Amino acid sequence: MNHQGTRRIETERLVLRQFSIDDAEAMYLGWAGDPEVTRFMSWPTHESPEDSQAIIEKWQNDAILLSDYNWCITLKETGEPIGSIGAVRVDEAAEYVHVGYCIGRKYWNQGLTSEALSAVIRFFFERVGVNRIESLHAVENPASGKVMQKCGMTKEGVLREYNVSNYGRCDAAVYSILRREWQGTAR
């Protein structure tokens, strides 16, 4: 794999970029501090902008590792931070990344998460050279699965009581896409 670290990615409506400390309040108010948004997340809902600042500081410190990927999803037109997407796990031997994402409720059902995930999939296949990209969602959150399907990912199955989210233990639906599959459908 040819690790690059978090690099700026532009799409039609979005810019994915590294987080800055200045994003902490927007992160807290827009998604990380909203219990409805974080209901199915495996990380706790942020209780203050300081919680958001702490995770951003960690990501900034980890950014020196080229195998670390955490993007702030921003609207291209305004620069407003609206969510996050990144590699939760990187496996060198198997050449895969596990991607996670979260976007503010105000931006649900507009295709923005799919646009961000699609761009990250392209980045990992074209620039990093991974063989497999996977993600999962709580089965109680089928909207997340629709994002994965829209990006060409295939549902592999359900792992029973696999994850713990903010509402408790849950089953997780696992999706993936392989480089050869993506190359056959890439535009």
| Domain regions of the chain by residue span | 9-131
Cα 124 from Cα 114, distance rounded (Å): 15
User: Which amino acid belongs to residue 74?
Assistant: T
Who contacts 127 (Cβ-Cβ below 8 Å, separation ≥6)? 2, 4, 7
Fold of 9-131: Aminopeptidase (3.40.630)
The answer to whether the pTM exceeds 0.85 is yes
The position carrying tokens 């509402």 is 167
Cα 64 from Cα 173, distance rounded (Å): 32
Burial 135-163 (b: 16+ CB within 10 A, else e): bbbbbebeebbebbeebbbeeeeeeeeeb
Largest CA distance in the chain: 45
What does the pLDDT profile of the chain (187 residues) look like in tens digits? 999 899 999 999 999 999 999 999 999 999 999 999 999 998 899 999 999 999 999 998 887 778 899 999 999 999 999 999 999 999 999 999 999 999 999 999 999 999 999 999 999 999 999 999 999 999 999 999 999 999 999 999 999 989 887 778 889 999 999 999 998 875 4
